[in-house]
Structure 1
Amino acid sequence: MLSPELLHGLRNLSLAARQVAEGFLNGAHASRRHGAGMEFSQYRPYQPGDDLRRLDWRLAARSDRYYLRESEIDTSLTVHLLLDASASMNHRDDNGLTKLDYARLLLASLAYLATQQGDAVGLTILSPTGLRHLPPRADARQLPRLYHALETVEAAGSFPDHATLAPLTARRQRALTVCVSDLYESEAEISTLLTRLRATSGDVLLLHLLSHNELTFSYQGAVTFRDLESGQTLQIDADQQRPAYQQQLQQWLRDTAQTARRQGFDYHQLSTAEPLDGAIREFLRKRKNS
């Protein structure tokens, strides 16, 4: 898997998403991992009218015959992607990537994967000024729409309030909801939203995104921190505060994971310094079981 900074350096979200998804699937096939969209029960000859996306072009090139891969998991889903676009997602890691940069790459890759599986994919960008919502679709034009929305999103303000979020939970539609967020909230508004979505839509996969410098507290000496959402500042000695910070962070992460799982979410922690394969594997596992 390419590193997140190399993928971001491509400056082409469509190309990066394809590189991530196909690189993962090729690696998974070589290692014989099991999971949705990665292993196939059998091949059968192509017949007119078959979906060309399931055609094994490599096998065709070697044998001059056309075969379709019949997946062990052959059902399509509705996949609803949620992006937290509050200002805290502007936090920048030591590798130069913001959380929003990483989230763009991840969600674009998941959208590409889901589309290749034949799923209807939608996207909702959560910001205080309102929801930017692309309803789930399975047509060929949906991916460019999703890429454009992700490329143009800007993180600002705090997480939207209940009134802004209300349209998301007003309708019942069976879907696999995938939320990417750093889970910085003031009154449990994110977990409240996901609880309601689980009740109205079904399965929820929560991808908790943190930066590497948050996890390791790599700062040194006197540092001034500014809250990206409230603007408040705090001056500390990083070396002196590191032990207490790391202890409190680990406790918060344990509590967050336990709470999410108690509420029925699938929870997975991510770092902006790590390749995207962990999140993709969780998505495919969840898709297989949905």
Structure 2
Amino acid sequence: MSPTLQNEALQSRAEALGQSLPPLLAEAEMLAATLMLGEHGRRRAGSGDEFWQYRAAHQGDPARAIDWRRSARSDGHFIREREWQAAQSVTLWVDPAKSMAFSGGRERPPKGDRARLLALALAVLLLRGGERVGLAGLAQPRSGRSQIVRLAARLAGEPEAGDYGAPETAGMVGHGRAVFVSDFLGPIEPVEAALSRAADRGVRGALCQILDPAEEEFPFDGRVIFESMSGSMRHETQQAGELRSRYLARLAERKDRLSELARAVGWQFSTFHTGAPAQSALLWLYRALEGGR
């Protein structure tokens, strides 16, 4: 490619990014604001300035840790605990593969759009709470407002060529947190391998499966041509309705397997649909990270 054509292609991609980035970021910040979570609470005892709770003193607690004013109001001794406030590193992976471009209805967003929105809204919440957030293989975990813009730019990139994505673990911080957002409809082996690598580094987190309602219900009958988003796979049937029970059984097996894999390494798993409001998925993700602390 000549330098002129390269410059034109670069300019075209830059203009497309400039058009897509502000809406994605604005929508993510609006979604994050709907949760009204306030300051990000770590909800466990540790070093910090904020009071968390009183607890009864146990044998072995140093005398200097006792809150004598609180203890004077009862017959026992109490320890004043502060809330743990050390920042955590959270690494996000959002499936960029072609399968995420699917939407079964004009009124519903593609799965990839919902996945990117959720990831960026979660990043907004975490960064506002002082955490460090990054994208696996694309952006190292950092804190601050500028990181939100950086993540939005990375998420607005072009999709990959393949039908299904493999979770990326590059950039994960040991003993940090991670979130994988995907339809998880491709080969299961890459998911197993990624979770194993994460577990070896002490990383815990959540698998968030995004599906279109059509993929959940299989509302097809009669003659149907099924084609992958990349066009590499194609299947034509005259009696699609007869495939429904087998398809739903396979989907249930896949969900069970993902749940088992997550449970085995201390992660959480849940499925959400593009036809439902995004708030429930965002709240679940936020709480899932809290629960892994």
So what's the TM-score if we normalise by structure 1? Answer: 0.70
Matching residue of 1:284: 286
- Letter of the 1:111 partner, please give it: A
Matching residue of 2:135: 123
Selected match of 1:241 from 229, 232, 243: 243
Deviations, residues 210-236 of structure 1 (Å, cap 9, x unaligned): 111100112343110112357121112
Matching residue of 2:180: 179
Residues 1:99 and 1:161: Cα distance change in structure 2 (over 3 Å) = closer
> Higher Cα Rg: structure 1 or 2?
2
How far is the alpha carbon of 1:72 from its aligned partner? 5.8
How far is the alpha carbon of 1:196 from its aligned partner? 0.5
Secondary structure, aligned partner of 2:198? helix
Is the CA contact (8 Å cut-off) linking 2:127 and 2:143 kept in structure 1?
yes
Is structure 2 residue 144 aligned with structure 1 residue 148?
Answer: no
Residues 1:188 and 1:230: Cα distance change in structure 2 (over 3 Å) = farther
Structure number with the bigger relative contact order (C-alpha 8 A, sep ≥ 6) is 1
Residues 1:256 and 1:286: Cα distance change in structure 2 (over 3 Å) = closer
Deviations, residues 95-148 of structure 1 (Å, cap 9, x unaligned): 342111111111110110111111111012xxxxxx4x1001113311111111
Is the CA contact (8 Å cut-off) linking 1:84 and 1:181 kept in structure 2?
yes
Distance 1:172 1:36 in 2: 21
Distance 2:102 2:186 in 1: 15
Matching residue of 2:262: 260
Matching residue of 1:87: 98
- Letter of the 1:108 partner, please give it: L
Q: Indicate the larger mover: 227-236 or 101-110.
A: 227-236
Q: Indicate the larger mover: 139-148 or 220-229.
A: 220-229
Cα-Cα RMSD = 3.1
Instruction: Give the percent of matched residue pairs that are identical in Structure 1 and Structure 2.
Output: 23
- Listed as ranges, the gaps of 5+ residues in structure 2 are 1-19, 44-49, 53-81
Deviations, residues 23-59 of structure 1 (Å, cap 9, x unaligned): 1126xx8xxxxx8489x979xxxxxxxxxxxxxxxxx
Secondary structure, aligned partner of 1:141? helix
- Letter of the 2:95 partner, please give it: D
Matching residue of 1:5: none
So what's the TM-score if we normalise by structure 2? Answer: 0.70
Is the CA contact (8 Å cut-off) linking 1:194 and 1:204 kept in structure 2?
no
Distance 1:197 1:280 in 2: 22
Q: Indicate the larger mover: 210-219 or 251-260.
A: 251-260
Is the CA contact (8 Å cut-off) linking 1:206 and 1:266 kept in structure 2?
yes
Is the CA contact (8 Å cut-off) linking 1:92 and 1:98 kept in structure 2?
yes
Is structure 2 residue 124 aligned with structure 1 residue 112?
Answer: yes
Runs of 4+ off more than 3 Å? 35-38, 71-75, 158-162
Map residues 16-55 of structure 1 onto 2, 5 A cutoff.
Answer: 16-25=27-36, 36=41
Distance 2:147 2:204 in 1: 22
